[in-house]
Amino acid sequence: MINFNYEIDFNLEEEEVVSKWIIDAISNEGFKLEEINYVFCDDEYLHKLNVEFLDHDTLTDVISFDYSVGKIVQGDIFISVERVIDNAKDFEVEFDSELKRVMVHGVLHYCGYKDKTESDASLMREKEEYYLNLIK
């Protein structure tokens, strides 16, 4: 099950389409979905989580808390809509595309992908692009 929660005045378009896309991505990676909670929020909300739980005093676009066990995916993915808007402008991409990128980014972490090294980040970006092309 995928749940969408809104801490700000924002609503994801086509929740059912996006849910199916995320579920298909998880399945394609050889995992099974238990539950993911997406929480759409603002910079202030996400910054507080970043400081409190990760000891990072910076703004970020997405934080994922992974509660997966083995191949069963479950977790909470917090997304700052403000950061996504700014990043879309910076990267010169559509907001919808950047939003879906961070949505699948969190899921890919649950599937074992990392992004701390250059090679890991490159593979993560390839996977993001692959899945983005499936929903466009």
Instruction: Give dist(CA 37, CA 57) in Å, integer.
Output: 24
Is 105 annotated to bind a ligand? Reply is yes
43 known member of a binding site = no
User: Is 115 known as a binding-site position?
Assistant: yes
Annotated binding site: 105, 109, 115
Annotated binding site for Zn(2+): 105, 109, 115
